[in-house]
Chain A
Amino acid sequence: MAVKLEIPTALRQFAGKQASVEFNAATVGDALKQLTGTYGDLRKHLYTEDGRIRSFVNIYLNDEDIRYLQKENTPTKDGDTISIVPSIAGGKGI
C-alpha cells in the first residue's frame, strides 16, 4: 500500500530536493526505514545513534502524532500521509 512521506524543507537537501516521496509500507516505521534506507544522509537528523527517533522530531500519520497511536508500529493504509515535523528547542545551556 502506497503512503506519502512529506519531507520538511530543511531536510529536502538530503532527499533529492523532493518535497515528498512514496513508499509501499505496512507501518509508519517501515516507511521511515525505507526513507532512510533510500536517503541515508537523512538518518542522523531523524534518529539518535542508538536508533531512536530524536526527541524533537515528531512523526504524524495524517494528523495524528504516532506517540498517541502505536508509535512506529502504527499500521498504514493506502493513501495515508506521514509528516515529519520538528519541535524547535534550544537554550543557553546552564
Chain B
Amino acid sequence: MLIISSGIAQGIRDYGARDYPNETCGAMLGIDNGEGREIRALFPLANRRDDSPRNRFSITADDFRAAERAAKEQGLEVVGWYHSHPDHPARPSEYDREHAWPWYSYVIVSIASGEPREMTSWQLTDDRSVFQPEEIAWAVPPGSVK
C-alpha cells in the first residue's frame, strides 16, 4: 500500500498540468517499513527525452543520483517515481514495463487536455512479466480530523 497525502498528490497533478502536453517526471521520497510506504516529498526532475517528450520520459543516471542524495539529506529514500500520461489513461505501457524494476512504486497521473484526472500506482512483479496495481491510501491532512 502506498500512502500519499492530498498535498503530495496535488503536487504530482500540478507538475503534470504544468508540463502538459509533455510528460512530467520525478522521484518520490519517503519511508518504507516493509509493510507499507509513505511518500513524504517529491523531487521533480527534468524530462530528458527532448526528441519525444509528449510520449516518453527519461531520468538520467545523474538525476537518479541527485534524487538519492536529496532523499538521504532528508532522512528518506527514493521509494518510487511519478510521471504523467498526457491525453492517455493512467495505465502503464509496455514501454513502462520494459524499463522498470520491482520494488519501486510507479505513480501515473493522466492529464486530459491539460487537466489532471486519474492517478494510479503500479509495481512490477519480480519476474518482470506485468505491472500490478498498488493500492493508494490517501493520508488525512493534519488538522482535518476533529
Interface residues of A (CB under 8 A from B): 8-11, 13-14, 41, 44-45, 55-56, 58, 60, 65, 85-94
Contact = CB atoms under 8 A, between A and B. Distances in A.
Contacts of B95: 89-91, 93
Contacts of A44: 127-128
Contact of A88 (B85, B93, B94, B99): B99
From A60, A86, A90, name the one whose CB has the most chain B CB atoms within 10 angstroms.
A90
Interface of B: 23, 25, 49, 52, 55-61, 64-65, 77-78, 81, 83, 85-86, 88, 92-96, 99-104, 106, 126-128
A9 B55 contact: no
A9 B77 contact: yes
Given A10-B102, A41-B126, A86-B101, A91 B49 contact: yes
A90 B86 contact: no
A94 B55 contact: yes
Contacts, number: 86
Is chain A's binding surface mostly helix, strand, loop or mixed?
mixed
Which 10 pairs across A and B sit closest by C-beta, in order of nearness? Answer: A93-B93, A91-B56, A88-B59, A90-B96, A92-B88, A10-B103, A89-B99, A92-B85, A58-B61, A85-B61
14 contacts: A10-B101, A10-B104, A56-B99, A85-B65, A87-B58, A89-B59, A90-B56, A90-B57, A90-B99, A91-B56, A91-B93, A92-B23, A92-B93, A94-B55
A93 B102 CA distance: 20
A90 B100 contact: yes
Contacts of B128: 44-45
A10 B58 CA distance: 18
Contacts of B77: 9
Contacts of A45: 101-102, 128
Contacts of A41: 126
B74 to A, nearest CB: 15
A31 to B, nearest CB: 18
Contacts of B103: 9-11, 13
A92 B127 contact: no
